[in-house]
Structure 1
Amino acid sequence: MHIYAIGDIHGHIGLLKAAHDLIADDMARHGKGQVVHVGDLVDRGPDSRDVVDHLMQGQARGEDWVVLKGNHDRMFTRFLNDPGEQEPGLRADLGWLHPKLGGPATLASYGVAKAADRPIPKVHADAIAAVPQAHRDYLATRPSMHQAGDCLFVHAGLRPGVPLDQQTETDLVWIRDIFLIEVESFGPLVVHGHTAIDQATHYGNRINLDSSAAYGGPLSAVVIEGREAALLTPQGRKKLPGPPPMLFQKG
């Protein structure tokens, strides 16, 4: 059994289509497998609307794709529902329209210009008019966890010591430090994104797929067989690197 996974997309349709092409090439050689996208479809990149359309259309035509919810997808949905509601995982001094978070780029992909420079009520009204209800429904209903084979797929990670059925969505899409320093097994191999690094890396108990597409890096697509994983490249499969030994130490 093998399964494919794609890291944080962040509004880059060209990178996403290239990742799907790499997966299609690998499937042609090794057989079909499910494809899991670990969330953060939107924000920062220029093509968020096209990314959502591409994923919706693929699933509608029967592609075996799983699309998880990331914290940026949830912030987008929350803004559309109520721009005054604070996102629980976000610092109180930040809002989704802050340029650091990439919300204005997402709205620009829907035709809403200068979102960072205008009053929020006006931006919100324009966003409601511009974002199709089908996109809103799609993003709001993305699952926050998916289990397949020996793997558990989430956007950000798990809270150590908490049973899977008691994990909160906020942790699943936002958690970092307490998850990232954990060296013990979570049971299943946790496959996630959220924390940007230079290259997809296998840590033994988890795999981080966020190779910084949001910041000019590549979008990683991997194939997982059991608890082993390989990066898909134009030259074929390349075993995922592990971290330097010091990264296995808590503290």
Structure 2
Amino acid sequence: MRAYAIGDIHGHLDKLEAAHALIAEDRARCGDDDAPVVHIGDLVDRGPDCKGVIQYLIDGQARGENWVVLKGNHDRMMEMFLRKHPMVDTQLLIDHNWLHPRIGGIDTLASYGVEVPEGIRTYQLHPKARAAVPERHRDYLANLPSSYRLGDLYFAHAGIRPGVPLDQQAEDDLCWIRKEFHQSNVDHGPLIVHGHTPVDEVTHYGNRLNIDTGAGHGKAISAVVIEGRDAWLLGAGGREKVVQEKPLFPV
């Protein structure tokens, strides 16, 4: 069983298009037009064309591309802010919100033509932001799934909570978890494919595969092909095997 996956995007439409071009080249080499392409989430924030990224994905799925697009924590924060009554994600630090300089919501709104003057209050900004972001984009974010299962693969933006059955995972964990998941060396059943926490290069840990290579910090968007539990990074020269970092489930 084969699947393609694309790491965190963060508003970089040009890098997303380049990732899809690499996937198209690999499809042509192996003659596979059916394997899904899973986008691991974090479509928005920090990058220059968040609006363009969302529209690109909407258009692709509308014309029948076999794409799966998952909800990341940044997508969730944007959707919650743009509800009729704005909300702040409960997983954020107490003094943070979507418009905090570290988060990237200001960059996302800029792609929709909305300026965020320093000191503006939420009640002043919210109507302008909601009017500028098309309802179709808001609905799209609201309806993104938070996980996807394909045979021996399980995709989620941040990961899973170890010990909890996969069909009982909470969205808070699927979008936000870090420490408990990263420190676990237990067999989760399927290989967990995730992003959320940037690494220098796509890394295979045996029970999980991290494909976030830091687009939210000006680095690359990685595209991978997965066959069984093995993964290859796609590049200009074709496939490069992602070597497992350490033995599976060490004693």
TM-score normalised by structure 2 residue count: 0.95
Pairwise CA distance, 1:243? 3.3
Percent same amino acid among aligned pairs? Answer: 56
Deviations 1:53-92 (A, max 9, x none): 0000000000000000000000000001166533121111
Q: Is 1:8 the equivalent of 2:27?
A: no
> Which residue does the alignment assign to 1:183?
185
Mapping 1:39-58, distance limit 5 Å:
39-58=41-60
Which of the numbers 165, 168, 191 marks the counterpart of 1:166? Answer: 168
Residue of structure 2 equivalent to 1:19: 19
Partners of 2:86 and 2:20 lie apart in 1 by 37
Equivalent position SS for 1:81:
coil
Larger deviation, residues 131-140 vs 236-245? 236-245
Alpha-carbon distance in 1 for matches of 2:102, 2:181: 24
Q: Give the deviation of 1:217 after TM superposition.
A: 1.1
- 8 Å CA contact 1:7–1:37 kept in 2: the answer is yes
TM-score for both structures, normalised by structure 1: 0.95
| CA displacement at 1:115 relative to structure 2 | 5.2
Distance 1:128 1:115 in 2: 16
Q: Which residue of 2 aligns with 1:208?
A: 210
Q: Please tell me the residue identity of whatever aligns with 1:54.
A: Y
The CA deviation at 1:99 is: 1.0
SS of 1:104's partner is helix
Unaligned runs of 5+ in 1: none
2:23–2:223 Cα contact (<8 Å) kept: yes
Distance (whole Å) between structure 1 residues aligned to residue 119 and residue 132 of structure 2? 18
Question: What is the RMSD of the two structures over their aligned residues, measured on CA atoms?
Answer: 1.8
Residue 126 of structure 2: aligned partner: 124
Segments ≥4 residues shifted beyond 6 Å? none
Q: Which residue of 1 aligns with 2:29?
A: 29
